[in-house]
Structure 1
Amino acid sequence: MATTALHTTVLDALGRRITSGDVAVGAPLTLDAIGTEFGVSRTVAREVMRLLEGLGLVRSRRRVGLVVLGIEEWNVLDPRVIRWRLEGPGRDDQLRSLTELRHAVEPLAAAGAARHAPAPVRDELVAVAARMRRLGEAGDLEEFLALDVRMHELLLRSSGNEMFGALAEVVAEVLSGRTHLGLMPAAPVPEALDQHEAVAHAVAAGDPDTAEAAMAAIVGEVRRALDRG
């Protein structure tokens, strides 16, 4: 197995354990134990621990080594941490907190895109929304997902707010997670398709108020669906 694949396998395994609570806060992790369990070298184990430390999941302490940290220390906006949490027992809480973040940010991003997006982005948004309708009505969820991710990325990155743009990968992970975890309907509801087209056309027309309202409707329905459970 290539070194990169080894890193990923061990990192994912330990990341899931920590974010799921299977490893208690304050528990020590050692290079020897990781190497023995996963059959990897100390070099690989050390690199994995460096990555976990960079994500705020562990910290080095004198005379103890590396210890597991609580959620308040995690880099909760890193796509890897989001993915691990979505795959764990805290999935519902993670979806709820991320959806609340989207509700706060994405309507304003859509309004910003209506003000700032260049002409090619406006044209692409309209084309993407139209293709999303065709794919959604056909039940092609995988390609629909790819376009959905693209649409939200375009809105965030063309909003004129670099902080919103930095959340593009976060939103992509949420959208992908909901689909791959079977939390989406077999076909998108017609209202969602209507609202995506409404956002795209409002941005294309330079209408920030309509773009904001349509995006608020999209993420608002996601919140209500989570509340319905």
Structure 2
Amino acid sequence: MAAYSVRGVHGQTVRLLGERVLSGRIGEGATIDLAELSEELGLSLTAIREAIKVLAAKGLVGSRQKKGTFVRPRRDWNLLDPDVVRWQIAAGAGDVFFRDLAELRDALEPSAALLAARRRTDADVAELRAALVDIDDTAGGQTAEEAEAAAQADLRWHRALLAATHNELYARTDVFFAAGLSERDRLVHGGVHRDPVPSHARVTEAVAAGDPLAAEAAMHALLAQAREDLSRITENPVPDDDPERPQ
């Protein structure tokens, strides 16, 4: 499911409703009165229904005869969807989400680095180094566009590392953390953080050298730096000035 821009009325409405669900303001099992929302937000029923369709595609809401539109149980939500990740953070669940993400990465990426060092090909090393160049080129930017570019460069590198394991299931695990990693990177790269190039370069060169234990250790160090950078940002958050009501 594609991410929705908050710049348009439709995108803002989707975001507003998504954040209400993720925050628990509209609780699991609760019925959503579309006519009441239409009046509250000053939008047509058609606009509200279009927004609801997006939430339904992400597993957040459902509908049935006599019950109408309702919030589905959390177990049905697509918590890996990029928008849902963003709404969780905006709804105040960022600490728990990023803790879960860090634990997942701790379990996955050091072993991926170890396997990559054992199995990498020349093409794998070339892709890791090319992604590292992208990280270097985009590091240090402060604007939203620069932070987005940095996030995409970082994601390219992590996907290259997973691919270098030559384990198809490892390579597909990017679905578990890609959205969260991108959102974490947008936050970190939009603030003060340590240069990400040296930590990524140490993993890259250990993989290139075919040194599994060095690659594993370097990835542990990279993840420790990632936790420190995120803690620095989340302890001094930038306020979100977006009004709730779509304009």
Give the TM interval when normalised to the shorter protein: 0.7 to 0.9
| Structure 2 residue 95 is matched with structure 1 residue 89 | no
Q: Which range moves more in the overlay, 81-90 or 161-170?
A: 161-170
Does the CA contact (< 8 Å) of 1:157 and 1:165 recur in 2?
Answer: yes
Residue aligned with 1:181, SS: helix
Equivalent residues in 2 for 1:101-140 (5 A)? 101-129=104-132, 132-133=135-136, 136=139, 139-140=140-141
Measure, in 1, the Cα distance between the counterparts of 2:172 and 2:42. 34
Counterpart residue identity of residue 212, structure 2? P
| Structure 2 residue 154 is matched with structure 1 residue 148 | yes
Overall identity of the aligned pairs, in %: 35
Which of 24, 49, 54 in structure 2 is aligned with 1:51?
54
Measure, in 2, the Cα distance between the counterparts of 1:12 and 1:165. 31
| Structure 2 residue 209 is matched with structure 1 residue 205 | yes
Q: What's 1:218 paired with?
A: 222
5+ residue gaps, structure 1, are none
Task: Render the CA deviation track for 1:124-144: whole Å, top value 9, x for unaligned.
Answer: 3124335635764xx336354
Deviation at 1:203, TM superposition (A): 2.2
Task: Render the CA deviation track for 1:85-122: whole Å, top value 9, x for unaligned.
Answer: 12221111111111111111122222333344442231
5+ residue gaps, structure 2, are 1-7, 236-247
Task: Render the CA deviation track for 1:149-173: whole Å, top value 9, x for unaligned.
Answer: 2211222344334444334355443
Does the CA contact (< 8 Å) of 2:151 and 2:182 recur in 1?
Answer: yes
Q: Which range moves more in the overlay, 140-149 or 59-68?
A: 140-149
Decide whether aligned partners of structure 1 residues 178 and 32 sit closer, same or farther in structure 2, where only a CA change above 3 A counts: same
Q: What's 1:29 paired with?
A: 32
Measure, in 2, the Cα distance between the counterparts of 1:117 and 1:15. 41
Does the CA contact (< 8 Å) of 2:62 and 2:71 recur in 1?
Answer: yes
Residue aligned with 2:69, SS: strand
Higher helix share: 1
Aligned Cα root-mean-square deviation (Å)? 3.2
Q: Which range moves more in the overlay, 125-134 or 73-82?
A: 125-134
TM-score relative to the length of structure 2: 0.72
Measure, in 1, the Cα distance between the counterparts of 2:78 and 2:180. 16
Task: Render the CA deviation track for 1:60-97: whole Å, top value 9, x for unaligned.
Answer: 34421121134333221222211111222111111111
TM-score relative to the length of structure 1: 0.76
Q: Which range moves more in the overlay, 89-98 or 212-221?
A: 212-221
Does the CA contact (< 8 Å) of 1:153 and 1:168 recur in 2?
Answer: yes
